[in-house]
Amino acid sequence: MRTIQFREAIAEAMSEEMRRDENIFLMGEEVAEYNGAYKASKGMLDEFGPKRVLDTPIAELGFAGIGVGAAMNGLRPIIEFMTFNFSMVAIDQIINNAAKMHQMSGGQFTIPIVFRGPTASAGQLGATHSQAFESWYANCPGLKVIVPSTVYDAKGLLKAAIRDQDPVIFMESEQMYGDKGEVPEGDFILPIGVADIKRAGTDVTIVSFGKIMKVALAAAEELAKDGISCEVIDLRTVRPIDYDTVIESVKKTNRLVCVEEAWPLGSISTEISYMVQKRAFDYLDAPVIRSTTADTPAAYAPTLMEAFLPNQARVIKAVREVLYVAK
């Protein structure tokens, strides 16, 4: 297969779907003339024109609302946020309108809309630009929430999101746009709500998603040198969550470590921990351990950011704890 960048996979997914369906359009800040803040819509204005690739003012609440209204009237918008930190301005439209309209209208309206853009930290950007809101949106019935970790998954899942009849939150990472990966030519769709076992193992299950999958896989690789076999599961979708894949893995390994770039209270890791103790308690040989960000706003200093985020050393320590292996 050919190798392309993450940003190219995003642009391909949107472009292929826009060629397939003239009701799809892209709207957001700098998506047109500038080819996207992260060049994830490069060439789309030239191909589809200004009626289908629209630059907006710096007004997230406004263009998110336009997108919801357009979806109610038969169109299929893709709304790009320059960062999901800025989606806080538009959260009323996302939570109170997009997520609830189907139920509140008695099924008269579907809202086939995708809100996409980068999430969480991306270097030294300060506390208000380094937040992970996956668990916030996953908490809301009516939304689907996707957080891919690979180029292949990004394309297949974004195409699925665009075709979905429900509002979908599609969360990327600024630090992944340059990542490269193999992606097949032609049309392919990945199912929403299906986790992927990125590395098979027998001693402990590690569950993660998004860019922190790199940390989880790096830790598993290092632990393998000491004969510790980690099964690493990429959730890919955090609403709906593929509980069955996690449960079956825990029944095999008897131990679980959750790794996530989010504050600990009310995190996806917390939800996974609850479901595992509910459905697989008798299989657990050790308490579940989660490795999240520190319970504080993100700092600016690189040394403090390193301490704030989950890292390889902390994941290795957590795995050794559930295995009762000291080092």
Residues acting as catalytic residues: 60, 129
Q: Return the residue matching tokens 């086939």.
A: 112
Nearest to 171 by CA among 141, 213, 130, 210: 210
Sign of CA pseudo-dihedral 235, 197, 202, 213: negative
| Structure tokens that stand for 214 in this block | 């790199």
Q: Residue 313: CB partners within 8 Å, gap ≥ 6?
A: none
Beta bridge partners of 204: 230
What is each CA distance from 256 to 62, 117, 196, 281, in whole angstroms? 43, 30, 16, 11
Q: Residue 84: CB partners within 8 Å, gap ≥ 6?
A: 117, 118, 119, 120, 131, 133, 171
Q: Residues 4, 31: contact at Cβ < 8 Å? A: no
Nearest to 280 by CA among 306, 244, 325: 244
Beta bridge partners of 206: 232, 257
Q: Residues 231, 283: contact at Cβ < 8 Å? A: no
Tell me the C-alpha distance between 223 and 215, whole Å. Answer: 12
